[in-house]
Amino acid sequence: MLCLDNLRERFLQGNMRALAQSISLVEDNPELGAKFFSLLGLPQGNPRIIGITGPPGAGKSTLTAKLALALLARGERVALLLIDPSSPFSGGAILGDRIRMHELSGLSDVYIRSLSTRGSLGGLSAATARVLRLLQHGNFSTIILETVGTGQAETDVVMAVDAVVVVAVPGLGDDIQAMKAGIMEIADVFVVNKADRDGADRTKLQIEAILGMQEGRRVHPIQVVPTIATTGHGVDKLTQALDDHFAYVEQSGELARRREKRWHKEFSAYVANILLGDFFSWANSQGIGIMANADWAEIEVYGLAKQATAQYFTERMKRHVEED
Ligand SMILES: Nc1nc2c(ncn2[C@@H]2O[C@H](COP(=O)(O)OP(=O)(O)OP(=O)(O)O)[C@@H](O)[C@H]2O)c(=O)[nH]1
Ligand SMILES: [Mg+2]
């Protein structure tokens, strides 16, 4: 039987095994996780959370490793959270990431964890939000979240982090047009990785042109940084671009607003979960035949939902009064 007090103690002492155990706990078990969070109280540190996203194979992991090395070199403690897209096409991604991250192995001030999004909607799951929250208790100065940018995951990543780095590669052509839709709005810093390939300058110009058209919607200019992740070229510029970004959003209050929004979103997700769970357990206990057996095609869905929730609230209220 897991002793949460003991786990908390070891976790707060910076024990890496306890960190790994705690992550598994909040990832797999929201109920116990919630207990653990209430034992932890508020996070003591104030880490920067950076999301790295972009198309498959753009070099996100290679770049993440190099960025982590640069941050470690200036005395930071870094946590890396790699979201396994769990697509059948990227099987072995985690193994690949391990190889890409080999430069970090054995270093004491970095923690690497892969999370699978299997079975969760929208790519970035509620479990990821909980793990990120937990890492904020873990005495890290920077937390980096790597996730493949496909559709919904892009908007999710914005909600989960303080700053978004979008990684593009030269010669995307049509992809750049497609990227406009989702990704252009979410980038705080752009990277054109694989700058050793032809067309990097052109891609940089294309991105800058698109960003230029959006001027006015953003309060400060978004930097486009060419990198060669395999050699580490340009990573110093990326670090600087991120520092510039954070300096700006800290000073302008934008960072605080973004974090507040994130808090609200998480809060309402929990409330929705609790209410839904209670509603359905009530509905089942009442034998209300609305879920099972009902001839759904014959029932008007909105009307029934309204009627059932009204009945639910009335009965819950009654119980509440009786219990008082
Ligand atoms: N030529 C060149 N190759 C690179 C560069 N950066 C990464 N690569 C290579 O591109 C491939 C993919 O790199 P990853 O770092 O795994 O890319 P990723 O975006 O994390 O990939 P997924 O997580 O699978 O989407 C690897 O073979 C890298 O060695 C670069 O700057 N130049
Ligand atoms: Mg990767």
Please compute the mean of the pLDDT values over residues 227-235 and round it to a whole number. 97
For the stretch 272-284, pLDDT in tens is 888 998 998 888 8
Compute the distance from residue 214 Cα to the ligand 1 centre, in Å: 29
CB 153 within 8 A of CB 53: yes
Cα of 124 to ligand 2 centre, how many Å? Answer: 15
Q: What is the DSSP string of 30-80?
A: HHHHHHHHHHH-S-SS--EEEEEEESTTSSHHHHHHHHHHHHHHTT--EEE
Query: What pLDDT score does 288 carry?
Result: 64
On the question of pLDDT at 1 being above 70, the answer is no
Q: Is it the case that residue 291 has pLDDT exceeding 80?
A: no
pLDDT at 92: 43
Confidence class for position 193, pLDDT limits 50, 70, 90: very high
**Cβ 57 under 6 angstroms from ligand 1:** yes
What structural domains and CATH numbers belong to the chain?
1-41 (no CATH), 43-252 (3.40.50.300), 262-323 (no CATH)
pLDDT of 122 reads 35
Q: Which atom of ligand 1 has the smallest separation from the CA of 58?
A: 19
The number of beta carbons lying within 10 Å of the beta carbon of residue 324 is: 5
Confidence of residue 30 (pLDDT cuts 50, 70, 90): confident
| The pLDDT of residue 237 | 98
Structure tokens at 181: 């839709």
Tell the residue number behind the tokens 């709005």, with chain if given: 185
Handedness of CA 233, 71, 54, 21 (dihedral sign): positive
- Please compute the mean of the pLDDT values over residues 191-217 and round it to a whole number: 85
**What distance in angstroms lies between residue 298's CA and the mean position of ligand 1's atoms?**
54
- Which of these ranges, 120-124, 134-138, 160-164, has the smallest mean pLDDT? 120-124
Answer with the residue of higher pLDDT: 280 or 67.
67
Q: Is the pLDDT of residue 94 over 70?
A: no
How large is the average pLDDT for residues 231-250? 97
Question: Do residues 171 and 115 touch, judged by C-beta distance below 8 A?
Answer: no
Is the model's pLDDT at 156 over the cut of 80? no
Q: How far is the CA of 144 from the centre of ligand 1 (A)?
A: 17
93 lines ligand 1 (CB under 6 A): yes
Q: How far is CA 2 from CA 5, 136, 143, in A?
A: 9, 22, 27
Q: Which residues, in sequence order, are bridge partners of residue 145?
A: 51, 81
Choosing from 62, 99, 115, 225 the residue with most ligand 1 atoms within 8 A of its CB, the one to mutate for a pocket test is 62
Cα 117 to the center of its chain, rounded Å: 11
**Minimum-distance ligand 1 atom for the alpha carbon of 65:** 15
Residue minimizing CA distance to atom 21 of ligand 1? 57
pLDDT of residue 126: 74
Confidence of residue 171 (pLDDT cuts 50, 70, 90): confident
Per-residue pLDDT, averaged over 93-103, amounts to 62
Q: What is the pLDDT of residue 95?
A: 52
Of the candidates 166, 170, 162, the residue with the CA atom closest to the CA atom of residue 198: 170
What is the chain's mean pLDDT, rounded?
Answer: 83
The count of C-alpha atoms lying within 13 angstroms of the C-alpha of 106, restricted to the half-sphere facing its C-beta, is 2
pTM of the model: 0.86
Beta bridge partners of 228: 233
- For the cut 70, the answer to whether the pLDDT of residue 151 exceeds it is no
Q: Which ligand is nearest to the CA of 200?
A: 1
Region of poorest pLDDT, from 82-91, 155-164, 169-178: 82-91
Cα 288 off chain centre by: 38
Mean pLDDT, residues 292-311: 80
What 8-state DSSP symbol labels residue 17?
H
Contact 101, 69 (CB under 8 A): no
Q: How distant, in Å, are the alpha carbons of 133, 224, 236, 302 from that of 67? A: 21, 16, 8, 50
Q: How confident is the model at residue 195 (pLDDT cuts 50, 70, 90)?
A: very high
What pLDDT is attached to residue 312?
Answer: 93
Which of 61-70, 79-88, 109-118, 193-202 bottoms out in mean pLDDT, i.e. has the lowest?
79-88
Answer whether residue 317 shows pLDDT above 60: yes
Per-residue pLDDT at 123? 37
